[in-house]
Structure 1
């Protein structure tokens, strides 16, 4: 398979020195940049998949009904937080 290139980028000389300073033994700047690009691509794919799954789940919940209203969840969390604060303040007396 034939390879392709990623466009070169211009950076401040200080940043290039910083990047070169974190290269591992035997690692080239090109290898580092390729690795960083691959990691970012994977991260963005995972984020897109996560968002898609979340939107699908929301749509399914709306379609079939059910779920728990946000106000109910928030009220329960606030009650737990208040109870934890009361417990904590009693221990610090």
Structure 2
């Protein structure tokens, strides 16, 4: 794939250059940032697709989950992950 020049306003370029890691080029920073943004948007789309599919399944089956039960379960998962990290 052929690279193309993307114009960046000078203020943004200066801000980006100010946060570069040692030995990192602006091109490397931009590529890494772009990869992260793409991955984030893909995760957002997957999350939304999962939520829509869950909603549709709940409507189809009539089976819904209590908010308090779901939040309690998520809190339990979070506490487990946090304690696992502290053990490492």
Which band: TM-score by shorter chain?
0.5 to 0.7
Say yes or no: does 1:21 pair with 2:27. no
2:43 corresponds to: 46
Runs of 4 or more above 2 Å deviation: 4-8
Say yes or no: does 1:36 pair with 2:27. no
**TM-score calculated relative to the size of structure 2:** 0.67
**TM-score calculated relative to the size of structure 1:** 0.64
Change beyond 3 A, Cα 1:6–1:53: farther
How many residue pairs get aligned? The number is 68
Larger Rg: 1
2:7 corresponds to: 10
- Matched residues in 2 for 1:60 and 1:31: separation? 43
Where 1:37 maps in the other structure, the secondary structure is helix
The root-mean-square deviation of aligned C-alpha atoms, in Å, is 2.0
- Matched residues in 2 for 1:42 and 1:5: separation? 22
Range with greater deviation from structure 2 (10-19 or 39-48): 10-19
Q: Give unpaired runs (5+ residues) of structure 1.
A: 74-93
Identify which of structures 1 and 2 has the higher relative contact order when contacts are C-alpha pairs closer than 8 Å and 6+ apart.
Answer: 2
